[in-house]
Amino acid sequence: MVPLYALETRGITKRFGALIANDQIDLTVKPGEVLSLLGENGAGKTTLMNILYGLLRPDEGQILVGGRPVEFRSPRQAIDLGVGMVHQHFMLIPAFSVAENVVLGMRKKTGAVISRTRLRSSIREFSHRYNFDLDPDARVGDLPVGLQQRVEILKSLYRGAQILILDEPTAVLTPQETGDLFRVIRHLQGEGKSVIFISHKLNEVMEISQRVTVLRLGKVQGTVETSATSPAELAKMMIGRDLAAPSSPRTGGYTGPTLSLQGLTVRREGKEACSGISLDVWGGEVLGIAGVDGNGQNELVEAILGTAPVASGRVILDGRDITGKGPARAIDAGLALVPEDRQTRGLIMDFSIAENLILESHRAAPFRRGFFIDEAQVNRFAAGMIQTFDIRSGGGASAPASSLSGGNQQKVVLAREISREPKVLVVMKPTRGLDVGATEYVHRRLLEERAKGKAILLVSSELEEIKGLSDRIAVMHRGAVTGLVWPDVSEEDLGQLMTGAKTMLSALGPRGGGEQ
Amino acid sequence: MLEPLFSLTSIIALLSSTMRTTAPVLLAAIGGLFSDRSGVLSIGLEGFMLAGAFAGFVGAFYSGNLWIGIAAALIAGMLLAFVYAYFSVSVGSSQAVAGTGLVMLAAGATGFLNRVLFRSSGNFVRVTPFQPVAIPGLSRLPIIGQVLFTQNVLVYLAFALVPLTWFILYRTALGLQIRSVGEHAKAADTVGLNVTLTRYACVLVSGALGGLGGAYLSLAHANTFIEMMTAERGYMAFAIIIFGKYNPWGAMGASLLFGLADALQLKLQVAGVPVPYEFLLMFPYVLTLAAMVMAGKTTAPAALGSAYKKN
Ligand SMILES: Nc1ncnc2c1ncn2[C@@H]1O[C@H](COP(=O)(O)OP(=O)(O)OP(=O)(O)O)[C@@H](O)[C@H]1O
Ligand SMILES: [Mg+2]
């Protein structure tokens, strides 16, 4: 007899000190079902998933797999009972090959001595079955994120997962890769497997799942059939109010080019990653950079910051030439940067939230007093930022960044960079991992900064975000700017520009900017 | 006077001696490799060696049996390693501090006990060292027979450990486990591997092999215990692992370079070259470190030196 639920939790509660991350959670997953889990940043989604995977032990409550109560002391038991998890921040070993990552910890299956040929062919076969197209010998660190994610999924499937947990899998994917992932999910569903899908994007939730469970402040807010709900209703359940429609009132005018890239060429590993890029970002303007990931956007940003070698061309910030002068000079000149990877570039995970918030300004007033750091000032500042940006930390400003939920980590980086009052703000995927409410807030903040006359360079692979916020859009393809267009550009044109099928350079300066 | 240095017999003798000067460092380096690959800095090797040198000598001297000395050296090295593992893995203290602290402890304790046990008696105490064992057939090969196949058992063991370690690290599930813990402890944890246990085991192996390397010095080289007789060979082993790119074959190459320089230096001392002997003593260390600097960058295991705390 097939049990009614593949997985069930009853009254799961988990506390971190005074904070109740999960409060009496009842959750059910049916066999062959995709269940979405929705909730604000810090609502307790990842915590709950870690409990289901045996990484955390609940303080109270029960887990049932296939109708039988179980107790997980470590992921080992969860794995043995067919639970697999792809973590929000991947758990892969970059220095290892795909094959090594997949069979790690599977001595029962591989035997004490690992036969490389047998391993290789079995992984090829598995990879083929799900259309993954993975080379077992490739070094995982060399793979793009989309493929790394497949390695993570393969890892779980190889262990015989019947219930697969995907924690914000689409946050790192391009729209096309998301489509591929959805095909994989449907394939798994066809094999009778269950999937728990976490995402902040309501349209994805609507598309892929049969039921949605909403968490709010650690509690289950409700579970609904996807066919009987709407994105607006889900948002309301999640944040407890209606979502304001995004608006971008134009207030200030354009104040002339603040950031000027003049024929910038960057070489990486012998290849030209950026070829002769010339762009002006005006004060009071958001210039969006669209393009498929890996078309030179990272190198361009690194060249502006001064961490990638510039082969030729110049970076002028507010009249100062900062080409190749390094990050300290660039920051002094008025640059702020929100990097793509918050965990390795944006934050020092072992440092406290307060320390992370003053990382670049600790050397100057008001945080420095003589030779020392003025703790009182730092704490006051941190408390203010935590409030303004709604950073939800159980342990306050002195808790380490690593104790924050993914979205709240992102808010720390944003708070630090925006609060420095830079002249130029470079933001890469600023709302990656943020819930709908926080996304709305960040978008509003960026537009406010624009109104204050800041020049904003927005790099994102989400077209909706780019079109909604930008005054002009530059499209990058293979290291070159193939398009410079207005935000009312058609999806079709944008698609062609992104694949390099055509070029279109119409928006050379902001509308009306030339009259300044 | 220098001329006989370069005759064929002289070169054979030098190479044969190189095998013996290499063995103690190589043993320690192979042990340390396990520790490093599991993510725990092998900075306590010097202490494990000293403890092994002393315990090995005491065991062999009082029992009259070299193998009892070896057993004592293994135990002494592992005991010290256990303390190190406790601080670096369980407590999560700074590994550099815990490791060097233990080296000082070993130096003080072996020096003190040595005086208590032997110095007061006034006579110079010795053991009959490990003797060369000629491998039947192979030892009669020209040149190679002398150099490679007429050595004591510890030399054979040291070199046999190289391919064995390579096989364990790169061809077995256990090796994959060790390396994964050293690269990304949390990733290992999420697939159900026991990070703490793995690291303890690897540190104990480094204690055992470090102790063995130390016992080599007292039971196969000097035939007695002398205070601080390891002469920083444990620290050299620590550097040699890096120089050897965290790979047993590399460690063997680097150890051989050190061993060759050491053998040459000994020979020059005996030949009485007119250079202050302190400079000759320095030579192998300087050469190995210089070679290491020139070899350029190596990639250490990503989690090397950082403790892992579960939630
Ligand atoms: N190890 C920890 N120590 C202290 N607090 C923690 C720890 N892990 C999580 N928390 C807190 O528990 C709450 C829930 O975090 P969790 O990571 O489950 O959120 P989430 O719903 O996954 O959010 P996001 O969408 O941002 O990923 C947060 O307030 C977080 O700060
Ligand atoms: Mg999360």
Query: In the β-sheet with A219-225, what is the strand arrangement from edge to edge?
Result: A83-86, A163-167, A194-198, A34-39, A211-216, A219-225
Three-class secondary structure of residue A106 per DSSP = coil
Chosen domain end from A179, A205, A239: A239
Pocket lining: A218 vs ligand 1, CB cutoff 6 Å? no
Between A142 and B160, name the one with better pLDDT. Answer: B160
Residues A315 and A218 in one domain: no
Helices A175-190, A145-158: crossing angle, 10 deg rounding: 10
Q: Does B14 score more than 50 pLDDT?
A: yes
Q: How far is the CA of A344 from the centre of ligand 1 (A)?
A: 18
CA B276/CA A154 separation, integer angstroms: 64
pLDDT at A502 (0 to 100): 85
pLDDT at B120 (0 to 100): 64
Residues A23 and A110 in one domain: yes
CA A132/CA A336 separation, integer angstroms: 38
Residue type, A235: A
Residues of A in contact with B185 (CB under 8 A): none
- Residue A231 burial by Cβ neighbours in a 10 Å radius (0-12, 13-18, 19+): middle
Pocket lining: A16 vs ligand 1, CB cutoff 6 Å? yes
Beta carbons of A280 and A260 less than 8 angstroms apart: yes
Residues A107 and A224 in one domain: yes
Q: Does B209 score more than 60 pLDDT?
A: yes
How many angstroms separate the CA of residue B15 from the nearest CA in chain A? 36
pLDDT at A244 (0 to 100): 67
CATH numeric code, B20-122+143-231: 1.10.3470.10
The CATH number covering residue A97 comes to 3.40.50.300
Chosen domain end from A239, A273, A308: A239
Residues A317 and A234 in one domain: no
pLDDT at A510 (0 to 100): 80
Residues 169-198 of B with CB under 8 A from A: 171-174, 176-177, 179-180, 183-184, 186-194
Pocket lining: A405 vs ligand 1, CB cutoff 6 Å? yes
Q: Does B4 score more than 70 pLDDT?
A: no
Residues A195 and A292 in one domain: no
Helices B8-37, B45-63: crossing angle, 10 deg rounding: 110
Q: Does B210 score more than 60 pLDDT?
A: yes
Q: Does A391 fall in a domain?
A: no
CA A41/CA A43 separation, integer angstroms: 6
Least reliable range by pLDDT among A205-214, B54-63, B195-204, B262-271: B262-271
Q: Does A371 fall in a domain?
A: no
Output the pTM of the full model.
0.84
Pocket lining: A43 vs ligand 1, CB cutoff 6 Å? yes
- Low-confidence residues in chain A, pLDDT < 70: 1-2, 243-252, 512-516
Beta carbons of B179 and B245 less than 8 angstroms apart: no
Residues A12 and A77 in one domain: yes
pLDDT at B177 (0 to 100): 96
Cis peptide before A366 (omega within 30 of 0): yes
CB contact, 8 Å: A112 with chain B?
yes
> pLDDT tens-digit profile of A312-362?
999 999 999 999 888 888 988 999 999 887 777 888 988 999 999 988 777
B302/A95 CB distance under 8 A: yes
Q: Does A400 fall in a domain?
A: no
Q: Does A163 fall in a domain?
A: yes
How many angstroms separate the CA of residue A147 from the nearest CA in chain B? 17
CA B235/CA B221 separation, integer angstroms: 19
Pull the structure tokens for residue A243.
Answer: 């979502």
pLDDT at A287 (0 to 100): 94
> pLDDT tens-digit profile of B233-288?
999 999 999 999 999 999 999 999 999 999 999 998 888 888 888 889 999 999 98
The predicted complex's ipTM stands at 0.88
Q: How far is CA A470 from CA A107, A158, A183, A226, A290, in A?
A: 52, 44, 32, 33, 10
Tell me which residue in A95, A96, A114 faces B172 most closely, judged by beta carbons: A114
CB contact, 8 Å: A95 with chain B?
yes
Residues A148 and A75 in one domain: yes
A55/B311 CB distance under 8 A: yes
Domain boundaries, chain B: 20-122+143-231
B179/A96 CB distance under 8 A: yes
For atom 7 of ligand 1, the residue with the nearest CA is A403
How many angstroms separate the CA of residue B202 from the nearest CA in chain A? 17
Give the count of domains, chain A. 2
pLDDT at A6 (0 to 100): 94
pLDDT at A286 (0 to 100): 93
Q: Does A291 fall in a domain?
A: yes
Residues of A in contact with B299 (CB under 8 A): 95
Residues A121 and A266 in one domain: no
Q: Does A451 fall in a domain?
A: yes
Pocket lining: A392 vs ligand 1, CB cutoff 6 Å? yes
Confidence of residue B1 (pLDDT cuts 50, 70, 90): very low
- Residue A445 burial by Cβ neighbours in a 10 Å radius (0-12, 13-18, 19+): middle
Chosen domain end from A239, A266, A287: A239
Domain range spanning residue A19?
7-239
Residues A166 and A205 in one domain: yes
A91/B180 CB distance under 8 A: no
How many Cβ atoms from other residues are within 10 Å of residue B90's Cβ? 12
